[in-house]
Amino acid sequence: MTNRSDAAMEKFKSGYNCAQAVFYVFHEELGIPEDTALKVACGLGAGMGRKQEVCGAVTGGILVLGMRHGRGSKEERTAQDSAYTKTRELMEFFAGKHGSCSCKDLLKDCDLSTVTGLLQFKATGLLKKVCMPCVETVIQFLEADKPQ
């Protein structure tokens, strides 16, 4: 594991969600205050507000890619294309390792929108078995990506 992976795991284990754990460890590089990074990524955890859509680790990674390669008010339209390309690359890399980018697929029959599902998530150790490796995969991709 890298220092960023270690830091993300610590943030994740301390109660922050997968998207927050990923985005947080890049906040200094991106010039974003720690609190802002945590708040920006907050709603993306558990597949976007526990809807179990795109994995929060992936969406946290997409935020990093947008900050690195995306189009702001001073960039050309080609920056948007670059961000889209990087996003697809991340999603393909992630799905290649985990079989899907869908939180629902990754967690199988565990419904995070219910109390029963949250208890099942804890009881079966899915944080350690599934979610932590997902966060590590995204960190690995982002560390190989070259910031502009």
Q: Tell whether the model's pLDDT for residue 62 goes beyond 90.
A: yes
Contacts of 142 (CB under 8 A, 6+ apart): 4, 22, 26, 61, 64, 65, 90
Average pLDDT over residues 105-111: 94
Q: How confident is the model at residue 1 (pLDDT cuts 50, 70, 90)?
A: low
Query: Residue 103 is which amino acid?
Result: C
Average pLDDT over residues 89-95: 98
Average pLDDT over residues 80-92: 97
Contacts of 24 (CB under 8 A, 6+ apart): 7, 8, 11, 16, 34, 37, 38, 41
The predicted-structure confidence for 128-144, as pLDDT tens digits, reads as follows 999 999 999 999 999 99
Q: Tell whether the model's pLDDT for residue 109 goes beyond 90.
A: no
Confidence (pTM): 0.95
In this structure, what DSSP letter does residue 134 have?
H
Helix (H) or strand (E) run with residue 14 in it: none
CA distance 3 to 9: 10
CA distance 45 to 58: 10
